Amino acid sequence: MKPEVRYAKSGDVHVAYVVYGDGPVDLVVVPGFVSHLDVMWDNPAIARLSERFSRFARLITFDKRGTGMSDPVAAAPTLEQRMDDIRAVMDAAGSERAVLLGVSEGAPLCILFAAAHPERTAGLILSGGLARSTWAPDYPYATPREALLESAAELTAPFWGTGQNAEIFAPSAASDPAVVDWWGRMERLAASPGMMQQLFTMFLDIDVRAVLPLVQAPTLVLHRTGDRVVNVNAGRWLAEHIDGARFVELPGRDHALWAGDVDAVTGEIEEFLTGARSAPPEIFDRVLATVLFTDVVASTQRAAELGDKRWRELLERYYAAVRAELTRYRGREIKTIGDGFLATFDGPARAIRAAQSIVTASRAIGLDTRAGVHTGECEMLDADIGGIAVHIGARVVSLAEPGEVLVSSTVRDLVAGSGVEFAERGVHELRGVPGEWRLYTAQG
């Protein structure tokens, strides 16, 4: 469940923040380049990571000013202003002293805050961090300024909002279309291209090396060996120049904290905060679940009629409508497939109600949608699912008519007494699935 977004007043600016969990240690996550609190929890991997953190900490995080749900500003915030924002969020959340978790570009900000406010800093965790953003003769662990500018102009700015940057920041997850779609939506809502350019330009001026000897807080430095954004040597250098810092090098190429081996990350952080690490939560790899597939009818034709821009705008409205109904009926979004969705539910009646509401909501914005529902054993594959039940659900939706919610006989038998009525749709062979299957239209 998404935490409630609140606002802290920092000078003339309102900073959006959330508090999640009630663990004994306050853990303030300082975001990197951009974030958007509402969208972040739409990423199942981030939701799971936050859940893990909440077992041993009270998680506090925020959108830096000018991005996400915080107030827009005319110019990129300075490090001093952002330190004010950390203090304002801690005050609003009732946190007198906290461990700061600085991710990426958030790491030097945390270093500066810890040096300036030791009385409020119980510890530092720096993930994928750096002390200086650009190469210097006495700091060979970063890319030259000119090369960064050229790279941003050619590889980042033109693709802002498309999701293609997921390949750079979270390569282990970027093969999943749902992750790419989420990343693009997060970028579009987090910052405009103009603000992104201002933030990047300011990033190039970061250098907190002179501050490192002043850090008094216990410090943990985490860095993945093949990090594609920040060279692992930058993390090693940080740990060497902060008194008493512990350096942990993790395998992988991901820069994003939530991608890759999350159990290793949370284990290190839990041990740093509490002195011990608990076993990872038990993972059940096979469960009974109801799968829901949705599909937009004649989407290619509609896209040709409307043109790319109007079609993308209509799809955004459709995605928002579907996600609202999934939340309403306690569904879990697994991924988008083309312009449709795959979601799971712990009860078939809720899946049918959600499907019917999605059909109605889609029609209200000018789209015809069809849905297929089946209940069966599913294999849990990290953020995805698999198994014969998923294949059956996909075949069922392919046979549905526009505006129809088509269900298997298994679903019909399981919702007896729910008030849902059905009409027979005959016996069908489902491609690639043994046997014959009796299907029904859910009517009310």
pLDDT digits (tens, 9 = 90+) for 133-190: 999 999 999 999 999 898 888 877 888 999 998 999 999 988 888 889 899 999 999 9
Calculate mean pLDDT across residues 236-255.
95
The answer to whether residues 304 and 245 belong to one domain is no
The answer to whether residues 300 and 339 belong to one domain is yes
End-to-end CA distance of the chain: 28
Q: Report if residue 206 sits inside a domain.
A: yes
The residues, ordered by sequence, that sit 6+ positions from 93 with a Cβ below 8 Å of its Cβ are 8, 17, 19, 26, 60
Q: Report if residue 266 sits inside a domain.
A: yes
Give the separation between CA 411 and CA 349, rounded to whole angstroms: 8
The CATH number of whichever domain residue 311 belongs to comes to 3.30.70.1230
pLDDT grade, residue 282 (50/70/90)? low
Three-point CA angle 204, 209, 212, nearest 5°: 135
- What pLDDT, on the 0 to 100 scale, is given for residue 428? 95
Question: Minimal CA–CA distance to 262: which of 181, 382, 389, 425?
Answer: 382
Calculate mean pLDDT across residues 303-319.
91
Calculate mean pLDDT across residues 300-327.
92
The answer to whether residues 354 and 262 belong to one domain is no
pLDDT grade, residue 1 (50/70/90)? low
pLDDT beyond 90 at 382 = no
Token couple for 252: 């992988």
Domain boundary among 252, 274, 296: 274
Query: For the chain, what is the largest distance between any 2 Cα atoms, rounded to a whole number of angstroms?
Result: 76
411: part of which helix (H) or strand (E)?
helix 409-414
Q: Report if residue 150 sits inside a domain.
A: yes
Give the separation between CA 423 and CA 443, rounded to whole angstroms: 7
What are the pLDDT digits (tens) for 10-45?
Answer: 999 999 999 998 889 999 999 888 899 988 888 888
What are the pLDDT digits (tens) for 103-118?
Answer: 999 999 999 999 999 9
Burial of 51 (0-12, 13-18, 19+ CB in 10 A): middle
pLDDT beyond 90 at 383 = no
Instruction: State the CB neighbour count (10 A cutoff) for residue 364.
Output: 10
Domain boundary among 240, 274, 308: 274
pLDDT beyond 70 at 80 = yes
The residues, ordered by sequence, that sit 6+ positions from 174 with a Cβ below 8 Å of its Cβ are 166, 167, 180
The least confident of 199-208, 247-256, 275-284, 372-381 is 275-284
pLDDT grade, residue 281 (50/70/90)? low
* pLDDT: which is higher, 2 or 129: 129
| Mean pLDDT, the chain, whole residue set | 91
Task: Give the three-class secondary structure for 416.
Answer: coil
What are the pLDDT digits (tens) for 322-366?
Answer: 999 999 998 999 999 888 999 999 889 999 999 999 999 999 999
The answer to whether residues 215 and 327 belong to one domain is no
- What pLDDT, on the 0 to 100 scale, is given for residue 285? 65
pLDDT beyond 60 at 98 = yes
The answer to whether residues 105 and 165 belong to one domain is yes
Domain boundary among 237, 254, 274: 274
Q: Report if residue 279 sits inside a domain.
A: no
Handedness of CA 300, 303, 307, 311 (dihedral sign): negative
Residue 339's φ and ψ, nearest 5 degrees, are: -105, 15
Residue where the block lists tokens 């896209």: 303
The CATH number of whichever domain residue 63 belongs to comes to 3.40.50.1820
Give the separation between CA 42 and CA 346, rounded to whole angstroms: 19
The answer to whether residues 261 and 349 belong to one domain is no
The answer to whether residues 164 and 269 belong to one domain is yes
Question: Minimal CA–CA distance to 366: which of 416, 402, 330, 412?
Answer: 402
- What pLDDT, on the 0 to 100 scale, is given for residue 278? 74
The answer to whether residues 269 and 292 belong to one domain is no
Count of domains for the chain:
2
The answer to whether residues 129 and 263 belong to one domain is yes
Give the separation between CA 90 and CA 28, rounded to whole angstroms: 8
Percentage, residues of the chain above pLDDT 90: 69
Give the separation between CA 355 and CA 370, rounded to whole angstroms: 8
The answer to whether residues 328 and 268 belong to one domain is no
Q: Report if residue 1 sits inside a domain.
A: no
The residue segments making up the domain with residue 392 are 286-442
Task: Give the three-class secondary structure for 432.
Answer: coil
The answer to whether residues 268 and 296 belong to one domain is no
